[in-house]
Structure 1
Amino acid sequence: MTSTRQDPIERLTRRFDYHDPEYTPEVAEIVNREIGKNEGVTYSEAHGGMWILSRYEQVKAAFKDHATYSSGSGVFFPRAAGTPKFSPIDFDPPEHRARRRLMSPPLQQDVVRSLESQVAELTSRMVRPMVERGHGDFTGEVSKPLAIGVLAIALGLSESAQHQIRELTTTLWARLSKNPDLTDFWPEFRQLVSEEVRRAKEEPGDSYLSRLVGAELNGEPLSEETLQSIIVSYCIAGHETTMNTISRMLWYLGSNPLLQERLKAEPDLMPVAADETLRRWCPTDRFTRVTTRDVTIAGTAIPEGSRVVFLLDAANRDPDKFPDPDTFSLDRGNSHQHLSFGFGIHHCMGAHLARLELRIVLQELARHPVYHLTEDPGRHFENGRHIVFEKVPVKFETS
């Protein structure tokens, strides 16, 4: 490794800052691993000071202790002044519980199971043209449209909303932590949601959105602000992490044809492959909380009111929990215990839907020839948290 390459790694390991321009996906792999070697907690002066938890048991315990580690001041940090809270992730109990209850119906396991045939049909329509052509881009032709399309099926989003979600999300993440206020990224999202709410009210049906606009919170009709908070959260969280995980999984398999063959021969391993992808490459590298009291972890005192970062990528690669953690293995046995979906009251509501999509993509590809990457795809962070693949270009073998 050259000295110029080592400099940002050493600097960011000492002063961790996931918004630093040199904190690239390649650098993050090393920095997160180095921070994870620390038996205790790490402090960084970046952004006014923050503490980093990086070991598996520490992060899991903090997720579980929502009374000490509050989400109420917002889990995305820093963020432009005036940015509305996202539901339910930016709320503490009891309001968190009430909002989660409103949002959970379309993501419950039995409801998700009923969508399987629709998701399978949609996936097939996206994959088959690539196979017939012999090549294509998994991100542009599968990962992105599938994640958004499945979200639309689950919620009842319009065609117009589907076309806008990705661009609006990209703009929001690019500006949330840098702009002094929300004026040049939030109004367009607000307009999108207002249109979806208006449509759901004027054209009622049996979709989740149609039911949501008539729902109540604490005995009162949902305010426009609450509807905005819920629907924007769905639009962002409902597509982005799944999209990025599908791209990451297919990227890795594209470099490992023997793994593709094994999944064809042992389809029961497909859910394991999905969970091992989520473990090895966490789709959301970190969340933050604020302490509500003084707390001591591994002998280190963290004062009340401190910003704390849960470094999920490091926790998922904790060798005490996952031996040989940097290796992708279908024989690990505990891949499903990763923390990529969170833990405790903030466990990801969309976990069942995400796992369904990942499994069905693998099932569809198992019906077709093995594929190979044709070039190393570009990757970048959005908001210092999500690794986005610009493309995953592949070529299918011919018989």
Structure 2
Amino acid sequence: MRHTAPATEDTTPTGSLPGCPHLARLTADFDAHDPYLSPDLAVDVHRAIRTSAPVSYSRAHGGTWIVSRYHDVRAALADHETFSSASGVFFPRAAGTPRFAPLEYDPPEQTRFRTAMKPPFLLPRVRDLHGALADLVRAHVTPIAARGHGDLIAELAVPLPLAVVGLAVGFTEHAQHSIRELTSNTWARMPKDDGPGGFWPAFTALFDSEIRRAREQPGDDHLSLLVRSSLDGRRPAGDEELHVMLVAYAIAGHETSMNTLAHLLWQLGSRPDLQSALRGDPSLIPAAVEETLRLWTPVDHGTRLTTRPTVLGGHEIPAGARVVLLTGAANRDPEVFPAPDTFRLDRGSNRHLTFGHGIHFCLGAHLARAEFAQVLHELFRHPAFTLTEQPTRYFENGRHICLDRLPVRFASHDEGQQKS
């Protein structure tokens, strides 16, 4: 028998009231780094921008163009020749901050980096990792469920993605334990510092240690192969090239997975009906994953720089313009997603833009989806769990939507058997 969960509106508090000055101000001049912009308020701001001025100009940070409708965002992501990533997609950023590969490069450099970086995330490799991935998930879930309570952020959503990227790439346990703190420090400082001295040297020191291990004590992991690989067909990759690849593995490899997993667990802990439906029909798990990716987009936006004058959404945008692509707004565009603020398990095809589109489509999409699904399958081997306290949601670097905690309590085994 197929179970379905009732569609449910996104009822998280928006943080805005009629006439809210922050809503009006941020709609007129969007600034992702505004101290009053929360993930909840951003939903209202996105909706207002998308409705009133889907392609508009903001005076923030020297002037940016804001794009919010699905088809416009998708068109810009598909046109890398006009909307260039080579000046960096994180904006504003401290002068001298290295670009992260392959996302912040254009072809042909982007192609060379991506070719070198993609092997551990190809679908056959992800399938090969299934057993090891299941073991990792079980090792993180079992102690919490056995105890009967815990914080699913601190004990699962944070450490598991770091362990998974370590499994895929070959980062040591020391690196896995260091990456989260270094990432948080980077996001706190990169938008406002004059230079990268407050965050980048710590990352390079960690990467140098990982590179040295891979060169001196090589194994069968991807990093051991990468340090001997060639980007140009003539020489092994240099340390600076390795640094910009490893920082992408380290940050992108855990950040988006951490935040997506956190939101998925938040929904399950808040909605017994949804948890019951997925337990009753595990074939619905992929749909729940995709709706989480769409509705609570883990990376709210990215930026590009125009290489030539262009027209987008009927608006002329000059060459050399910084363009903010509001993925979170595009993923709630009612022209593409009926009842866009509703979590639905029957949407069908995965049309959201969370993993990007075009040449920069997320390298780790296959592994991330496998990771989320495995977490749910493992959790559903244990009694149902309930959220005991609502988390605080916040932005890191103006674009990564995080949860601070997720305290839950599992039903007793007797209660779980009675309800099954």
TM-score by length of 1: 0.98
Matched, 1:56 2:70: yes
Question: Shift of the alpha carbon at 1:220?
Answer: 2.3
Q: Distance in 1 between matches of 2:284 and 2:313?
A: 37
Residue of structure 2 aligned with 1:88, choices 95, 98, 102: 102
Contact 2:16 2:23 in 1 (8 A): no
What SS class does the counterpart of residue 195 from structure 1 fall into?
helix
Aligned to 2:170: 156
Residue of structure 1 aligned with 2:36, choices 3, 9, 22: 22
Q: Distance in 1 between matches of 2:313 and 2:54?
A: 5
Residue of structure 2 aligned with 1:268, choices 275, 279, 283: 283
Aligned to 2:209: 195
Residue identity matched to 1:300: H
Residue of structure 2 aligned with 1:345, choices 328, 338, 359: 359
Aligned to 2:134: 120
Aligned to 1:185: 199
Contact 1:40 1:300 in 2 (8 A): no
Question: Shift of the alpha carbon at 1:130?
Answer: 1.3
Contact 2:182 2:202 in 1 (8 A): yes
Question: Shift of the alpha carbon at 1:39?
Answer: 5.9
Aligned to 1:213: 227
Contact 1:40 1:297 in 2 (8 A): no
Question: Shift of the alpha carbon at 1:38?
Answer: 3.5
Q: Distance in 1 between matches of 2:47 and 2:206?
A: 40
Matched, 1:373 2:387: yes
- CA deviation string 1:66-106 (max 9, x = no partner): 11100011110010011011000110011100100000000
Contact 1:254 1:371 in 2 (8 A): yes
Residue of structure 1 aligned with 2:153, choices 116, 139, 162: 139
Aligned to 1:12: 26
Structure 2 unaligned runs (5+)? 1-14, 416-420
Contact 1:274 1:355 in 2 (8 A): yes
Residue identity matched to 2:77: F
Q: Distance in 2 between matches of 1:58 and 1:49?
A: 19
Question: Shift of the alpha carbon at 1:260?
Answer: 0.6
Aligned to 2:90: 76
Residue identity matched to 1:7: P
Question: Shift of the alpha carbon at 1:54?
Answer: 0.7
Aligned to 2:329: 314
Q: Distance in 1 between matches of 2:120 and 2:310?
A: 37
Q: Distance in 1 between matches of 2:297 and 2:224?
A: 33
Q: Distance in 2 between matches of 1:122 and 1:214?
A: 28
Aligned to 2:239: 224
Q: CA RMSD in A?
A: 1.3
Q: 1:3 to 1:39 in 2, by over 3 A?
A: closer
Q: Distance in 1 between matches of 2:155 and 2:54?
A: 43
Question: Shift of the alpha carbon at 1:298?
Answer: 2.7
Matched, 1:305 2:320: yes
Residue of structure 1 aligned with 2:299, choices 278, 284, 294: 284
Q: Distance in 2 between matches of 1:282 and 1:44?
A: 22
Structure 1 unaligned runs (5+)? none
Aligned to 2:248: 233
Task: Point out 4+ residue stretches in structure 1 off by more than 2 angstroms.
Answer: 1-5
Question: Shift of the alpha carbon at 1:370?
Answer: 1.4
Matched, 1:356 2:370: yes
Contact 1:39 1:55 in 2 (8 A): no
Q: Distance in 1 between matches of 2:269 and 2:173?
A: 31
Q: Distance in 2 between matches of 1:341 and 1:260?
A: 25
Aligned to 2:270: 255
Aligned to 1:35: 49
What SS class does the counterpart of residue 337 from structure 1 fall into?
coil
Aligned to 1:328: 343
Contact 2:310 2:319 in 1 (8 A): yes
Contact 1:72 1:91 in 2 (8 A): yes
Q: Distance in 2 between matches of 1:279 and 1:147?
A: 19
Question: Shift of the alpha carbon at 1:3?
Answer: 5.9
Question: Shift of the alpha carbon at 1:154?
Answer: 0.6
Contact 2:54 2:66 in 1 (8 A): no
Residue identity matched to 2:56: T
Moved more, 302-311 or 289-298: 289-298
Question: Shift of the alpha carbon at 1:118?
Answer: 1.1
Q: Distance in 2 between matches of 1:230 and 1:10?
A: 40
Q: Distance in 2 between matches of 1:355 and 1:147?
A: 12
Moved more, 304-313 or 214-223: 214-223
Matched, 1:99 2:109: no
Q: Distance in 2 between matches of 1:301 and 1:376?
A: 44
Q: Distance in 2 between matches of 1:29 and 1:375?
A: 22
Matched, 1:295 2:310: yes
Q: Distance in 1 between matches of 2:257 and 2:406?
A: 15
Q: 1:255 to 1:83 in 2, by over 3 A?
A: same
Question: Shift of the alpha carbon at 1:304?
Answer: 0.6
Q: 1:5 to 1:283 in 2, by over 3 A?
A: farther
Q: Distance in 1 between matches of 2:16 and 2:63?
A: 30
TM-score by length of 2: 0.93
